[in-house]
Amino acid sequence: MNVELIFQIAGIGILTSIFHTLLKQAGKEEYSFIATLAGVSIALIMVVQLLSELLSKVKSVFFLSLV
């Protein structure tokens, strides 16, 4: 497993929380919600790509094919 990817996801979480806090303190709660939603969706896309790679490797190990 790639450790860099874990740090990338953690970095996205940290930046998202910083943006959320700054925007909420500035009174822009709608934008803070959108920034949080964007950060979560970016991290979710990265995780889904990892799961796709994992499932393809599992299929190749057990010689599974879609019928």
Domain ranges of the chain: 3-61
**Burial (0-12, 13-18, 19+ Cβ within 10 Å), 64:** exposed
Q: What is the model's pTM?
A: 0.77
* pLDDT tens, the chain, 67 aa long: 679 989 999 999 999 999 999 999 999 999 999 999 999 999 999 999 999 999 988 888 887 765 5
Angle at alpha carbon of residue 9, lines to 38 and 56, rounded to 5°: 100
* CA-based nearest residue to 9, from 43, 51, 37: 43
Supply the pLDDT for residue 65.
Answer: 65
